[in-house]
Amino acid sequence: MAELIAVLIALLALWLIGYATVRLVAPERSILGPDEIAGLAWFVGCGVCSFALFLFSAAGGTLSQGLVWMLSAVGAATAATARCRSGSNPAADSKAEHLRRSEWLVVALIALLFVCIVIPTVMTSVVSWDAMSQWALTAKIVYYGRTVWARYMVDPALGHSKAGYPMLLQLNQVWADLFIGRYDDRWVQMICPLYYGALLLVFNGACRRHVGRAKALVGTLVVATLYPLRMPGGGATEIMADVPLAGFCFAAAMLGLLSFEQRSLRLWALSAFLIACAAFTKREGAGHVLIYVLVFGLATIAMRRTTVPSALRRWLVAAVIILPLLVGWESYRRCVVPASEAAYYHTPTPAKVRSLLRERAWPVAKSFLFEMIVPPPRSDKSVLFWNGVWILLPLTTLAAWRETTRVPLLCIVLWLLAALGMYAVTYVMTASVTEIGGLIDVTLRRLLIHIVPLTAYVEVRQLGYIFRWKTGLAAADAANDRNRIARH
């Protein structure tokens, strides 16, 4: 029981530090709802604490229980101060209405799904191979060594093959272990269900701004019931990085769009920090950083209201936040990964690229189609696992083409297409296996987790547009939202 209480205090401290950061950075007049702020607080808190532990340890400091208690005390005091100074939130006030019975039912179902993930997660220790060999093992090494420079991380002779793997989730575990006072791989698994819950909160808040509360709750329920988000060995039921990465990417994208709508550098700064956290969570996160820069770079050019000085300020802020964090991580990674490590990708010579395309292009494309679009029984029910999200996307895109081609939603669509292309190219160029089919079978579903919240968000926006277009409510709802904010 004492260990459970210590873990709960550790997780609360993570959230309070994130809440303090969001409250201090986000403008008071932003339209972030209370659910969005709560979800963002978890993502930001986990990122801030992991980077703090990493940078402190990489600089030669020793990780200790006193350190995490001190950071927690500062975070709690700052959160209390920020809450007292923030006053009322116009968005929260305008949405503080009583839920209907049907909406309460949807909320209850989502809460039940969350509880059904948490309970089995804490009943057992880490069981899947990836969770044990990557995240749990690195967390154990860092905890017992009290530093990221522990011998098993820097000595190639000791053979830890994942020493250069991103460490955000592992340092979340170390944070909780330092509160407990010993290494634990059972109670700390509550971290990943909380990422799942935070993702649902941010998703609901982002959708509600555009389609209303009822439709947003239904969309959130669809995301909550996605089997890949809850599946063993990749979902939120144990220490795995796919759901956290999906959450960081989604939160960064939503704040990025909102920063353009509100012309807010503060929201943009939070967005840049969250995408840096994505690169510190999983290797694929570095690719999403490049996609983020590409997509929002095009958005900066396409936005008519964006002036050259404001664009320069925006990207200067992003560079100041992203580059030091990622350069620091990359410098450390190059120190712990031996130079003789085998290349993971084939050298892209023209002849080799042509050979790989002939050999792998069709198997890779077929695997994507069977996972995302082809209905059962030929696809082994994969389409049902995804609640039909991937089949619905082209249909809603055609039906809401005018909305989809507008800059905000087009940014997310381009993000999805770029991510799918990145993953396909990765499969074609990888040199770690000779038979690509086996690798795709065990990894593709986990890779698609990273972008399925963005896909569901696009579909919710598109369906909301179709419905409003038929009933003529779009202009009235938008005007009401503007009037609520203006009155405050």
Distance CA 273, CA 325 (A): 9
Pair 365, 454 in one domain: yes
CA–CA dist 255, 266 (Å, integer): 10
Using one digit for the tens of pLDDT, what is the confidence trace for 361-400?
888 888 888 888 765 554 555 556 788 899 899 999 998 8
357: pLDDT strictly greater than 70? yes
- Residue 486 belongs to a domain: no
Residues 292 and 424 occupy one common structural domain: no
281 and 372 fall within a common domain:
no
pLDDT per position as a tens digit, 289-310:
999 999 999 988 887 677 788 8
Mean pLDDT estimate for the chain: 83
Considering the domain architecture, whether residues 300 and 423 belong to the same structural domain is answered as no
In a domain, 104, yes or no: no
Distances from the Cα of 249 to the Cα of 199, 288, 314, angstroms: 10, 7, 19
Q: Cα 19–20–21 angle (5° rounding)?
A: 90
| Judgement on whether residues 231 and 126 belong to the same structural domain of the protein | yes
CA angle 364, 370, 375 (to 5 degrees): 170
Does 484 fall in a domain?
no
319 and 404 housed in the same domain: no
Distance separating alpha carbons of residues 277 and 47, to the nearest angstrom: 6
Q: What residues have CB less than 8 Å from 6, skipping those under 6 apart?
A: 176, 179, 180, 181
265-279 vs 308-336: helix crossing angle, rounded to 10: 20
Report the distance separating Cα 481 and Cα 208, nearest Å: 11
Question: Among the three residues 323, 341, 359, which one is the final residue of a domain in this structure?
Answer: 341
Residue 488 belongs to some domain of the structure: no
| Whole-number pLDDT of residue 285 | 93
160 shares its domain with 226: yes
Whether residues 408 and 311 fall in one domain: no
Q: Domain boundary at 321, 341, 361, which?
A: 341
pLDDT > 90 fraction of the chain, expressed in percent and rounded: 43
The domain of 377 spans: 349-476
Whether residue 287 sits in one domain with residue 195:
yes
pLDDT 10s digits, 259-286? 988 888 999 999 999 999 999 999 999 9
Q: In terms of domains, do 143 and 199 share one?
A: yes
Which residue, chain included where needed, has tokens 């006193």? 66
The verdict on residue 97 lying in a domain is: no
**What total number of domains does the chain contain?**
2
Q: Model's pTM, two decimal places?
A: 0.90
Do 311 and 174 reside in the same domain of the chain? yes
Residue 253 and residue 150 in one domain: yes
**Given the structure tokens 């839920």, which residue do they identify?**
99
Residue 77: which residues within 8 A CB-CB, separation 6 or more? none
Nearest to 13 by CA among 147, 269, 191: 191
Residue 234 has pLDDT above 80, yes or no: no
From the number of C-beta atoms within 10 Å of its C-beta (0-12, 13-18, 19+), residue 131 rates as buried
Q: What is the Cα–Cα distance from 263 to 193, expressed in whole angstroms?
A: 33
Q: Is 218 among the domain residues?
A: yes
Q: Which two tokens stand for residue 246?
A: 């999906």
Q: Helix, strand, coil % (nearest 5) of the chain?
A: 75, 0, 25
Residue 319 binned pLDDT confidence (cut-offs 50, 70, 90):
very high
* Domain contains 94: no
DSSP labels, 80-141: HHHHHHH---HHHHHH--PPPHHHHHHHHHHHHHHHHHHHHHHHS---SHHIIIIIIHHHHH
Q: Are 188 and 97 in contact (CB under 8 A)?
A: no
DSSP classification of residue 409: H
> Is there a domain that residue 92 lies in?
no
Task: Please state, in angstroms and rounded to a whole number, the distance separating the CA atoms of residues 265 and 309.
Answer: 12
Q: Which of 311, 341, 371 is the last residue of a domain?
A: 341
pLDDT tens across 308-318, in order?
A: 888 889 999 99
